[in-house]
Structure 1
Amino acid sequence: MNNLSTKTEAEVSSFINLMPSAILWIDQNQKIKNANDIFLSIINKSKEEVVGTDLTQYPLQNLKQYFSHIDLLRNRDIKIVDHFEIDNEKKTVRFYIKEIEEENSYLIMGIDISNEIYRSEAHEEIRRQQEENARFMMIGQIATGVAHEINNPLAIISGFLFNMKRTLEKEGANLNTEYFLDKISKSAINIDRIAMIVRGLKFLSRNDLTSPFEDVHIQEIIGHALDICSEKFKATGVTLVIGDSTPEMIVNCRPVQLTQVLINLLTNAHDAVLESEKKLVRISFKKDDRNFTVSVTDSGPGVPLEIRDQIMKPFFTTKFANKGVGLGLSTSRIIVQDHKGELLLDQTNPETTFNIILKNKL
């Protein structure tokens, strides 16, 4: 690359056009001495329009920033990425700079990564859409069951009120204070049940995809999941056992996302034991100096050996269409991985056990 000044313009052009990437040759004053066809196609200019012009005329903000601080940055291995728009077309180029000291000039190599960035952004957008769709699917499935779960306590309250009204309307009825207090107390309990379900749905409906991570007690995550799930377990006769005590644990997370993951595991476990003689789902906890693990175990028939390697793959499900797929184990695993953790099937446990392993911040 040295001694470019001793070569003719045709020789320099021929040389840089052989390069498989965009090449820009500038002098110490940031005047463009030459550019190859790849670079010219990126900025959509001809060589006649570019040679002799100043680098500052082009929308290469990070590249220009580098040269404005060249005394500090010289000879450092720096990759510069510029995002810009030419004729309504968005471009992203990664630049590498080679100083030619004896000629007081710089050779700049650029790699157009626009398509790579687009594919990455498109992939991330698809993932966000899948997660959002799964969230709404989950809310829809829960909302379908909410009618039953809310109607039951409402029917109880309505019955209490009707009976109390009839008692009060009887002429000469001797008011039994203890009777009324008992009905009022039971009504309050059922009102709390309704409020718990609504509170859980309201929490779950938050759009948590772009919200910042925050420090949250794990008890809060588990509490919201139980607000949503506990009535379903009671209604179907499935016993839900919670570990004796939840260890003190703060996790840096998007709380709605982790709640969704836990609800998904609990829902899967619930469905797995419905046909079993023993209908038991258990949440347990384990904590050490590095990790905190939430385990969901069920007494169902277990995950068949032949599909254990597939259950975490996108769109894989063993459920029938009318059962829905909830958030999905593949999406759940991605969410946990985004939280610097792991979602794993415990292959050593004879009962079906999924472990959410998170970093212990305390």
Structure 2
Amino acid sequence: MNSKMLQRQLKKLNLNPEEGPVNKKEWQDLIKLIDVTYNEYENHLYRSHNTLNVATDELQRLYTELEAKSSQKIQVLDSKLQNIMSMAPCIIMWLDNQGYIEGCNDYFRQLLNFNESLDNKKITLSDLDLHTLQVRAEEFIKSNLQQTSFTKQIANYYFKMTLNKMVGQNKISILGFDVTEDFNKQNTINQIQAKAVQSSKLAVLGELAAGVAHEINNPLMILTSVAFVVQKHIEQNKFDQLPEKLEKIQSTITRISRIVNGLRTYARDGENDPMMPVNIADVILESLELCVESIRYQNIEITFDNQMTIPAIVSCRDTQISQVILNLISNAKDAVLPLKEKWIKVILRQVEKNVVLEVMDSGSGISLDIREQIFQPFFTTKDVGNGTGLGLSISNEIIKTHYGRLFVDHNHPNTCFTIELPLA
């Protein structure tokens, strides 16, 4: 109010000397008005200052109260977290960006009988004989990954370890859940599967036994006959025909050797063999050496048509590929036995970057009602006691581990099982 009056009074006041002297009363009124206005502003500032001080004190009180409550809540949460960590039936720990352990729970301590304090100490997992875990942790810290998991044996147990990068902190957390029971179950399943594979192989081998014996017996008879002729020639000093006879002996021995090697290769468990570059045509020939005689003995025509224009080199375990080939040929043999027209054809050809191996027979294909079941374990169309029902199931899994496909070509007029494998 007084500030506006002061402005009006200043306008009325004559401050120009050329217009005459200043009115004394007006000056006195102006000075009084200035004093009143100043006092009003001073009082206003004093009241504002007091109000600000009160507000500041209230804010400080609220901040102190909030800080106390927050600290209390943090302590409660920290206590709960410590209780959870102490009771958790799993490994919990965290490492800094150098790979040093910053903290761990009681479960981890009890597992390793680790009682040392971590305060102001630089302890790594390697110091606790967990060298491989330390290496994995350091690799993870340096990587761009946010999470990684793997199975790790610690003491006598197996753990599913999960490493995470902590949000907003240059640290990683490690959680480990005991999966020993699941691991042992899977190990048992793997052992049963391995035995099933071997049983399936032996079942096929049993079917081939008579033919293999015949395959070896024939060249042995040839060796006996040629050896007798050689002996007679020596007695009669007829040496001109000896090179031919010796060559015959050598080729016959080579044939027996191929049969024995094929038998040895097939009978051996090759599951843990490394993948090696192999000419699959050689694997087919070695497999045929084991079964061709027994198949022909049952009046079944069997042929091999190699249509490859380059070596059919694939990265494989030749023992397992031989098992698949013999399984398919054995199934084809059983399928055509009741038929009037009996034949089996093995064809090897190239389609783009794949090797295609077809085992076809004179059958009329797979009926619609069993197409979805033929690759399932224990499914068989053979009479009880004549088949395990594992051959196709195992063969399918073997080809999958070789990054290939095993399927039935339903567009073929006859029964045709096809294997596709990538060229090496």
How high is the sequence identity, in percent, across the aligned residues?
28
Alpha-carbon distance in structure 2 between the residues aligned to 1:342 and 1:253:
13
Instruction: Please state how far the C-alpha of 1:196 moved relative to its aligned partner.
Output: 4.5
Alpha-carbon distance in structure 1 between the residues aligned to 2:147 and 2:140:
11
Match of 2:209 in 1: 143
Q: Give a deviation string over 1:226-277, Cα, whole Å, max 9, x none.
A: 2112212222221113226344221111112111211111121122112211
- Which of 60, 69, 94 is equivalent to 2:161? 94
| Distance change in 2, residues 1:14/1:27 (3 Å) | farther
Question: Residue 60 in 1 paired to residue 130 in 2?
Answer: yes
Partner-residue secondary structure (3-state), 2:286: helix
Is the CA contact (8 Å cut-off) linking 2:359 and 2:416 kept in structure 1? yes
TM-score computed with the length of structure 1 as normaliser: 0.75
**Structure 2 gap segments, 5+ residues each:** 1-70
Alpha-carbon distance in structure 1 between the residues aligned to 2:296 and 2:103:
78
Question: Residue 10 in 1 paired to residue 79 in 2?
Answer: yes
Question: Residue 229 in 1 paired to residue 278 in 2?
Answer: no
TM-score computed with the length of structure 2 as normaliser: 0.65
Residue type at the aligned position of 1:7: Q
Partner-residue secondary structure (3-state), 1:208: coil
Partner-residue secondary structure (3-state), 1:79: strand
Q: Give a deviation string over 1:136-170, Cα, whole Å, max 9, x none.
A: 3333332233234444555577678889999xx9x
Residue type at the aligned position of 1:213: M
- Larger radius of gyration between Structure 1 and Structure 2: 2
Match of 2:351 in 1: 288
Alpha-carbon distance in structure 1 between the residues aligned to 2:213 and 2:393:
29
- Which of 183, 189, 200 is equivalent to 2:262? 200
Instruction: Please state how far the C-alpha of 1:201 moved relative to its aligned partner.
Output: 1.8
Alignment of 1:180-259 (within 5 A): 194-243=256-305, 245-248=307-310, 249-259=312-322
| Distance change in 2, residues 1:20/1:224 (3 Å) | same
Which structure has more helix as a fraction of its residues?
2
Deviates more, 1:3-12 or 1:203-212: 3-12
Alpha-carbon distance in structure 1 between the residues aligned to 2:302 and 2:184:
46
Is the CA contact (8 Å cut-off) linking 1:196 and 1:227 kept in structure 2? yes
Residue type at the aligned position of 1:146: V
Partner-residue secondary structure (3-state), 1:309: coil
Is the CA contact (8 Å cut-off) linking 2:402 and 2:421 kept in structure 1? yes
Alpha-carbon distance in structure 2 between the residues aligned to 1:91 and 1:55:
20
Partner-residue secondary structure (3-state), 2:154: strand
Quote the RMSD (CA, aligned, Å): 4.3
| Distance change in 2, residues 1:354/1:4 (3 Å) | farther
Instruction: Please state how far the C-alpha of 1:135 moved relative to its aligned partner.
Output: 2.7
Residue type at the aligned position of 1:97: N
Match of 1:335 in 2: 398
**Structure 1 gap segments, 5+ residues each:** 170-174
Alpha-carbon distance in structure 2 between the residues aligned to 1:282 and 1:232:
15
